[in-house]
Amino acid sequence: MNAPRVNVDPDHAARDLVSLVLTLVELLRQLMERQAIRRIDEGGLTEDQEEALGTALMMLDRTMTELCEHHGLSRSDLGLDLGPLGPLLADTEW
Q: How far apart are CA 68 and CA 32, in angstroms?
A: 19
* Residues spanned by the domain of 36: 15-71
7 inside domain: no
93 inside domain: no
Q: Is-contact 25 81, C-beta < 8 A?
A: no
Nearest Cα to Cα of residue 66 among 94, 25, 32, 37: 25
Q: How far apart are CA 66 and CA 21, in angstroms?
A: 14
pTM: 0.72
Total domains present in the chain: 1
Q: Is-contact 77 68, C-beta < 8 A?
A: yes
Residues 6 or more apart whose Cβ sits within 8 Å of residue 57: 29, 32, 33, 36
> What confidence tens digit (pLDDT) does each residue in 11-52 have?
678 888 888 899 999 999 899 999 999 998 999 889 999 999
